[in-house]
A = this chain, B = another copy of it.
Amino acid sequence: MNYPIKKKKIKKNDHYANLGQTLESDLELTNQYYLNNNIAVIHKKPTPIQVVDVSYPSRNKARITKAFYRRPSTTDFNGIYKGKYIDFDAKETKSKTSMPFANIHSHQMNHLIDVKKHGGIAFLIVAWKAYDEYYLITIEDLKPLWESFLNGGRKSIPYTFFQEKGHMITFSYIPRLDYLKVVDKLI
């Protein structure tokens, strides 16, 4: 039987294929660019995994047969830029109006607050998928909302707050998300 072969839909901007696939991979490409060009040394931390069982089918390669994802105790990204300690997490939202605090673990917020206290540069990078916009928001700016949330206040961060307090990051081909351009203004 010959089923009709569906013609592959040609996307708008096909030369931009794979662009903006996920915020995480865009940030990893950006960090690779920073590293290759001697701009900064910033890496994503591996996902924490609790290994339960391992088998050794061959001498060289242990095979994990049972494991579970663990909750990260810090943020995903950290490193050094111009002698400064940089620490951040990346979040995506599909909402058009607000990002729920439920998306951010409290230990991540506490970690960013700690980093700031010790003289580091701490922030979130948030992708607003509905608008194709990326914002860097510092922990200093976020902290009052977070504290209000902990005390029973608003459960989410409104989009307008990002427009007012956030710093927009431009999406481009190389580097994908040049967030250090924003950091330059902060330091």
Please tell me the size bucket of the interface on A. 35 or more
Q: Is A47 in the interface zone, CB < 8 Å from B?
A: yes
Smallest CB separation, A55 vs chain B (Å): 10
Cβ contact within 8 Å between A68 and B73: no
**In whole Å, how far is A83's beta carbon from the nearest beta carbon of chain B?**
3
**Whole-angstrom CA separation of A109 from B118 in the bound complex:** 26
- Which chain B residues lie closer than 8 Å to A79 at the CB level? 78, 85
Nearest Cβ on chain B to A153's Cβ, whole angstroms: 27
Which residues in chain A, 65-93, are within 8 Å of chain B measured between CB atoms? 65-70, 72-74, 78-85, 87
Task: Tell which of B47, B48, B118 touches A81, judged by Cβ atoms closer than 8 Å.
Answer: B118
B residues within 8 A CB of A73?
43
Residues of B within 8 A of A119 (CB): 80, 82-84
Q: A residues near B, CB below 8 A?
A: 35, 38, 40-41, 43, 45-49, 51, 61-70, 72-74, 78-85, 87, 111, 114-115, 117-120
